[in-house]
Chain A
Amino acid sequence: MPATVKGGVELRKALRNFAPELGKETQKEIASVLKPVVKEARGFVTTSPLSNWAREGGKFPVFNASIVKRGIGYKTTPSKPNRKGFTALAQIRNRSAAGAIYETAGRRAPGTKPSSRPNFAQAMGPLTGSGKERGRLIYKAWENDKGNATKAVLKAIDNAGKTFNRMVGTR
């Protein structure tokens, strides 16, 4: 469960409309916080977790380390609301198909659907994290970060809000 904020989306819109420079600075600040996490996550990508997975053929996404690494990134602008109505102010993403499989395989308990072969998940190593936020790449890096990035992002947004209010207040 991510930390929730109030007024963040409005603040970002206000920054975009009335203080674009401050908005850009905030984005840069958030990016500087997220970059190390992304770098660490990319470092967890191995050549091929399973020897057969890198072979072409079939409908199953082929594991290509460079594509998986390229698929790991971050986003510093607000996302669209998800199904539950939450809008994220920043995101770390693992967007490639093979990367997503490598990230999440083995989350569900054996015997539940959609099922995956236990050998497949076990061969890729253990998942790091808790609950639904378990994974081998971005979730692992996020877990290793121990919430420091979240704090820094929230601080950056808070600072931007204060600066913006000060700007408006001193008008």
Chain B
Amino acid sequence: MANVVIDIAAEYTGNRAFKQAETATQKLEKSVAKLGKQLAGVFAASKLYAFGKNAVKAFAADEKAARSLALALANTGNAFASIEVEKFIGDLQRATGVLDDNLRPAFRTLLTATGDVKKSQDGLALALDIAAGTGKDLGAVSLALAKAYGGQTTALSRLGAGLSKATLASGDLDLITSELTKKFSGQALAAAEGYSGSIAKLAVASANAKEIIGKDLLDAMQMVAGEDGIGGATTAMESFATQIGNAIYGIGVLTKAIKSLPGAGFIGDVLSAGTQISGLGLLSRLGARSKAASAGTPAQSPGQRKAIDKANADALKLQKSKNSLQTIDNNLTTRKIVLTADQQALEELKKKFDVERIGLYAALNSATDEETRLRLRSLIAIHDNDAALAGKIKAEQEAAEQARLLALALAESRAAWGAWQTLIGNSFAAAAMAAATPAANMPSTTNYVPERYAPGDIPGISGQRGFRFAGADSSPTVVVNVAGSVTAERDLVSAITQGIYNNQASGIPISYSTSYV
């Protein structure tokens, strides 16, 4: 393959990398050998039990730390950033080779001190650099930084970070962090590069694997326990481990016995390997199938974690889109309100130059009688499409009509009252005259025919109402016909008061022009 190239800005990474590769390979060989021994040991029941216990413990610790961090986020009002923070810690773990078991407490410490996710993330990045540069524990460094955020720089001075007393005494956190950044920038990344970093990352992967296995073991235990809970599961697990141990021991004894037979060494080897490998393979396949089949127990493999992270990120993105759409909607509503106000102002201006309206107002100003004024106001309301004003005017008109009817009724009752008074006066006068006349002059009572009044003789009195005068033997029947209604004084006063109330309710002022109807 032809390879004619011009290298631009080359960096020497060669021989040192080879030496590191050599050292790392040796280390890796040792690790592999150790891992092999461990794997061999794992086949023993007790080792299997211990591994399972450690894995469960690791998962429980991881889950506890994650839950604690989530709670800390919620307590500081940053619950919305939970997914982002977990992703950040996951990324940081992969990039720096520092376990999330160490990252989470450090982040929580910083979060408690700052109360701000962004500041805590920056602080954690700085703490990682300082820890890598000074060789101090990440927890101690993050605690010192958290104290510095709170104004105590003593712990920071003891880190051996080479900060001057003047800088520390200033208490200016920006200055302190900038100096620390200048001194330790890139230390964490540098530590993560190369083969030592690769081994650290391998350790991270191993720890993660342990946590994943621990979770699956816990799920499996819960599955085994059923209704008895974890307590039943632990008993079942112990007895299961004992049984497995016994079985393996039995296989060992059997293999040894077969091997001791002359010419049967090969059969023993095959049996041993076949039992272990095929049995392990079967178990592994069974476990994988069961995991895939059970929808309720999701495995936390790195791929799935990545998928979950992606789904969470997508959901966050969707939520952000929704929020932005809501913001746009709000802005549009605000704009609409502003436009409506502008439109109203324009309408008001337009009204000022409306000739028809001006004419109506001129007529209203020159009108003297209230009815005309009301009509004109009604026309203005119709012209302005002012429903409220129209309703008010209608009420006024109705009130005026009621007042007019009341006045009419009053006039009629007054006339009836006058006629009745005249009739009474005449009757008394006639009676007095009769008493004063001598008996001789009096016509015989036997021939006396009382004077009768026919209906319609007395103006204003008609109908069936009649009365007798006291003392008269054959008392004359006076028939009073009333055209209209006869109202007592009290009722009259009440009716007038009610009329005034109605007018007041309709907004008509009590003045001479309104009361004199």
Q: Give the interface of A toward B (CB within 8 A).
A: 2-10, 13-14, 17-18, 34, 78-79, 81-82, 84-97, 99-101, 103-104, 133, 135, 138-139, 142, 149-150, 153-154, 157, 165, 168-169, 171
Are B10 and A93 in contact (CB-based, < 8 A)? no
Are A88 and B14 in contact (CB-based, < 8 A)? no
Q: Which residues of B contact A90 (CB under 8 A)?
A: 8-9
Are B193 and A13 in contact (CB-based, < 8 A)? yes
Q: Which residues of B contact A91 (CB under 8 A)?
A: 5-8
B5, B178, B181: the one within 8 Å of A93 (CB) = B5
Q: A91-B5, A93-B4 are in contact. Are A169 and B10 (CB under 8 A)?
A: no
Are B189 and A87 in contact (CB-based, < 8 A)? no
CB distance from B93 to the nearest CB of A (A): 12
Identify the closest chain A residue to B118 (Cβ): A171
What are the 5 closest A-B residue pairs judged by CB atoms, nearest first?
A85-B14, A171-B122, A100-B2, A88-B7, A86-B10
How would residues 169 to 181 of chain B score, 1 for a CB under 8 Å from any chain A CB and 0 otherwise? 0000000011001
Q: Which residues of A contact B177 (CB under 8 A)?
A: 171
Q: Which residues of A contact B6 (CB under 8 A)?
A: 2, 91-93, 133, 138-139, 142
Identify the closest chain B residue to A104 (Cβ): B4
A169 to B183, CA, bound (A): 10
Q: Does B352 lie at the interface of the complex (its beta carbon under 8 Å from any beta carbon of A)?
A: no
A19 to B398, CA, bound (A): 80
Compute the total of residue contacts between A and B using a CB distance below 8 Å.
131
Q: Which residues of B contact A13 (CB under 8 A)?
A: 189, 193
Q: Does B17 lie at the interface of the complex (its beta carbon under 8 Å from any beta carbon of A)?
A: yes
B7, B13, B121, B185: the one within 8 Å of A2 (CB) = B7
List, sorted by A's number, 15 A–B pairs whose CB atoms are closer than 8 Å: A4-B11, A78-B11, A85-B18, A87-B12, A89-B11, A90-B9, A92-B5, A94-B4, A95-B4, A101-B2, A135-B4, A150-B8, A150-B9, A165-B185, A169-B182
Q: Which residues of B contact A142 (CB under 8 A)?
A: 6
Are A86 and B181 in contact (CB-based, < 8 A)? no
Are B189 and A10 in contact (CB-based, < 8 A)? yes
In the complex, which of the residues A18, A81, A135, A139 has the most CB atoms of chain B within 10 Å of its own CB atom? A81
Residues 1 to 57 of chain B near chain A (Cβ within 8 Å): 1-18
In the complex, which of the residues B7, B12, B14, B17 has the most CB atoms of chain A within 10 Å of its own CB atom? B7
A133 to B189, CA, bound (A): 35
Q: Which residues of A contact B461 (CB under 8 A)?
A: none
Are B12 and A4 in contact (CB-based, < 8 A)? yes
A171 to B127, CA, bound (A): 12
CB distance from A107 to the nearest CB of B (A): 11
Q: Which residues of B contact A89 (CB under 8 A)?
A: 8-11
Identify the closest chain B residue to A154 (Cβ): B9
Identify the closest chain B residue to A14 (Cβ): B189
Are B4 and A149 in contact (CB-based, < 8 A)? no
Chain B's interface size range is: 20 to 34
CB distance from B397 to the nearest CB of A (A): 75
CB distance from A31 to the nearest CB of B (A): 12
8 further A-B pairs in the complex, CB-CB below 8 A; given A81-B14, A149-B8, A168-B125: A9-B11, A10-B190, A17-B91, A86-B7, A88-B8, A95-B4, A101-B2, A171-B181
Q: Which residues of A contact B123 (CB under 8 A)?
A: 171
Are B14 and A86 in contact (CB-based, < 8 A)? yes
Q: A10-B186, A10-B193 are in contact. Are A99 and B4 (CB under 8 A)?
A: yes
Are A5 and B2 in contact (CB-based, < 8 A)? no
In the complex, which of the residues B10, B122, B123, B182 has the most CB atoms of chain A within 10 Å of its own CB atom? B10
Q: Does B341 lie at the interface of the complex (its beta carbon under 8 Å from any beta carbon of A)?
A: no
Are A17 and B13 in contact (CB-based, < 8 A)? no
Q: Does B510 lie at the interface of the complex (its beta carbon under 8 Å from any beta carbon of A)?
A: no
Q: Which residues of B contact A79 (CB under 8 A)?
A: 5, 7
Q: A100-B3, A169-B185 are in contact. Are A153 and B8 (CB under 8 A)?
A: yes
Identify the closest chain B residue to A85 (Cβ): B14
Are B11 and A87 in contact (CB-based, < 8 A)? yes
Q: A168-B181, A169-B182, A169-B185 are in contact. Are A95 and B2 (CB under 8 A)?
A: yes
Q: Which residues of B contact A138 (CB under 8 A)?
A: 4, 6
Q: Does B95 lie at the interface of the complex (its beta carbon under 8 Å from any beta carbon of A)?
A: yes
CB distance from B187 to the nearest CB of A (A): 11
Are A5 and B13 in contact (CB-based, < 8 A)? no
Identify the closest chain B residue to A152 (Cβ): B8
A15 to B4, CA, bound (A): 28
Q: Which residues of B contact A169 (CB under 8 A)?
A: 178, 181-182, 185
